[in-house]
């Protein structure tokens, strides 16, 4: 019998000088996992892509292309779901690809959407022709997209974003100057929703590109409060690179440029920047500076009702969650104890609530409170499962908990399997 033709992914492995066994050992997976990837039966999880791309000596874009060409289209004799490239739309969708530990449709949708998003960004100034709805209708779509991001419904969001961003780009080319500015402001928020997916699932190059585009669009929209929101998001780039000094300077400069309007929106813009700056200072070990930023954020939160302003949640409850983050960064037991006595209200966006429990789990683990840490991770999962499952700190905390238990219980084991912690 003739040998089965090598798939693109298998050919890349062979070109890099690996056997399946060698590559499996390098990536700390089973050989059968490599085999499934090369047959197109499974996709690597997002946190495995960077290691796989590095091993094969290809870029993330190159790996996306290899995976897309490797996955087999469904035939009439098999029920194995796969990624299907539509010849009419030239987009790739993920249906129900089965991973080694069961279906994870939201992960597959995100993985499949990223190449589509890259193509849309490549032609943002030259969008494809297509239908373009009214600004009122597009504003409704952006509200829906922002809500999905805040509630950590990333799979649903990733499926819609490429087409929505392309439509917003088209809208920005029509109408009068005021209409184009409105469309550009909506596009900025659409790009932010995309960044919420890209950053959390490890596509840091896409995230950095989105943030640069957001800054350009906010400037074209001539919206100072939108620029403040972009500065808040931009901190992700500096967190990823560890450049805390630049992060602090960028946030302080943005705070200085927020107009003093006395409105809830302007106060929220200022407060969010100080919240973020406090976390940066805490991570840098600058307790006095972190305390100063928190005081300024409290002044803003004292007169602003909890709500979502330019895509960012701000108010007294959001501030308390950032206070916990600062206490964790500074290893402040009293601050952690105060935070542990409070629980975020259900009215807060799910993603923000899960952040609280993820940070508190890390703090409880550091204090040796292992059962409390486990309960916090379960609470994070209940609040925002997609966000919790993708968060690297969750896997780190679970791995640490597994190491501290000679005989971990079924609940901890189930949670670790669900989050793919080792």
Count Cα atoms within 13 angstroms, Cβ side, for 421.
Answer: 23
Tokens of 373: 């840490």
* DSSP helix/strand/coil, 312: strand
What pLDDT does 96 receive?
34
Is 228 within the bounds of a domain? yes
Instruction: Write the DSSP assignment of 92-148 as a string of letters.
Output: EE---PEETTEE-HHHHHHHHHHHHHHHHHHTTTSPPP-----HHHHHHHHHHHHHH
Distance CA 7, CA 12 (A): 9
Name the residue among 247, 157, 226 with its Cα closest to residue 195.
Answer: 157
- In a domain, residue 265? The reply is yes
Interatomic CA distance for residues 233 and 23, integer angstroms: 36
Q: Is residue 212 part of a domain?
A: no
CATH number assigned to the domain comprising residue 250? 1.10.3450
pTM of the full structure: 0.75
Is 159 inside a domain boundary?
no
Domain CATH for 53? 1.10.260.40
Contact 238, 222 (CB under 8 A): no
Last residue of a domain, one of 44, 62, 78: 78
Number of domains in the chain: 2
Residue 374 lies in a domain: no
User: Which of 10, 43, 78 is at the close of a domain?
Assistant: 78
> Domain range for residue 335?
223-342
Predicted local confidence at residue 12, as pLDDT? 85
59 within a domain of the structure (yes/no): yes
Transcribe 29-93 into DSSP letters. S-HHHHHHHHHTSS---HHHHHHHHHHHT--HHHHHHHHHHHSPPP-TT------EE-TTT--EE
Domain boundary among 322, 342, 362: 342
CB neighbour list of residue 268: distance below 8 Å, 6 or more residues apart? 300, 304, 307, 309, 310, 312, 314, 315
Is the C-alpha dihedral spanning 67, 72, 78, 84 positive or negative?
Answer: positive
pLDDT 10s digit of each residue in the chain, 422 long? 444 447 889 888 887 889 999 999 888 888 888 988 888 878 887 668 878 988 888 877 778 778 877 864 433 333 333 333 333 333 333 333 333 444 345 777 788 889 999 999 999 999 988 899 999 999 999 999 999 999 999 988 998 999 999 999 999 998 899 999 999 999 999 999 999 999 998 888 999 999 999 999 999 999 999 999 999 999 998 988 899 999 999 999 999 999 988 899 999 999 999 999 999 999 999 999 999 999 999 999 999 999 999 999 999 999 999 999 999 999 999 989 888 889 999 999 999 999 999 999 999 999 999 999 999 999 999 999 999 998 999 999 999 999 988 788 899 999 999 998 87
pLDDT of residue 105: 54
Q: What is the pLDDT of residue 330?
A: 95
Beta strands 84-85 and 102-103: pairing type?
unpaired
| pLDDT given at position 133 | 94
Number of H helices, E strands in the chain: 21, 6
């Amino acid at each position: 019998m003739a040998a089965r033709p090598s798939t693109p992914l298998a050919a890349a492995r062979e070109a890099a000088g690996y056997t399946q066994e060698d590559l499996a050992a390098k990536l700390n997976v089973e050989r059968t996992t490599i085999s499934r990837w090369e047959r197109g039966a499974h996709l690597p999880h997002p946190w495995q892509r960077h290691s796989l791309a590095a091993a094969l000596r290809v870029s993330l874009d190159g790996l996306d292309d290899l995976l897309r060409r490797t996955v087999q289209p469904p035939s009439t004799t098999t029920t194995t779901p796969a990624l299907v490239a539509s010849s009419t739309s030239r987009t790739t969708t993920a249906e129900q690809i089965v991973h080694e530990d069961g279906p994870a449709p939201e992960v597959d949708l995100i993985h499949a959407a990223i190449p589509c998003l890259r193509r849309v960004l490549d032609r943002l100034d030259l969008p494809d022709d297509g239908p373009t709805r009214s600004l009122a209708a597009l504003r409704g779509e952006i509200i829906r997209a922002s809500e999905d991001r805040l509630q950590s419904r990333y799979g649903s969001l990733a499926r819609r974003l490429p087409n929505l961003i392309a439509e917003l780009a088209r809208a920005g080319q029509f109408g009068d100057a005021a209409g184009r500015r409105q469309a550009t402001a909506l596009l900025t928020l659409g790009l932010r929703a995309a960044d919420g997916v890209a950053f959390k699932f490890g596509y840091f190059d896409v995230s950095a590109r989105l943030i640069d585009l957001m800054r350009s669009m906010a400037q074209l929209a001539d919206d100072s409060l939108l620029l403040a929101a972009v500065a808040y998001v931009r901190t992700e780039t500096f967190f990823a690179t560890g450049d805390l000094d630049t992060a602090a300077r960028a946030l302080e400069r943005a705070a200085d440029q927020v107009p003093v309007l006395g409105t809830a929106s302007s106060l929220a813009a200022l407060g969010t920047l100080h919240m973020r700056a406090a976390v940066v200072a805490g991570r840098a070990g600058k307790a006095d500076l972190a305390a100063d930023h928190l005081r300024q954020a409290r002044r803003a939160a004292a007169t602003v009702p909890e709500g979502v302003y330019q895509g960012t949640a701000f108010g007294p409850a959001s501030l308390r969650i950032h206070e916990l983050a600062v206490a964790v960064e500074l290893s402040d037991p009293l601050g952690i104890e105060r935070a542990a006595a409070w629980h975020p209200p259900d009215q807060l966006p799910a993603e923000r609530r899960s952040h609280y429990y993820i940070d508190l789990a890390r703090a409880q683990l550091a204090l040796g409170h292992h059962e409390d840490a486990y309960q916090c991770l379960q609470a994070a999962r209940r609040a925002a499962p997609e966000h919790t499952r993708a968060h690297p700190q969750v896997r780190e905390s679970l791995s640490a908990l597994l190491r501290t238990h000679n005989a971990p219980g079924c609940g901890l084991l189930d949670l670790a399997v669900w989050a793919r912690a080792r």
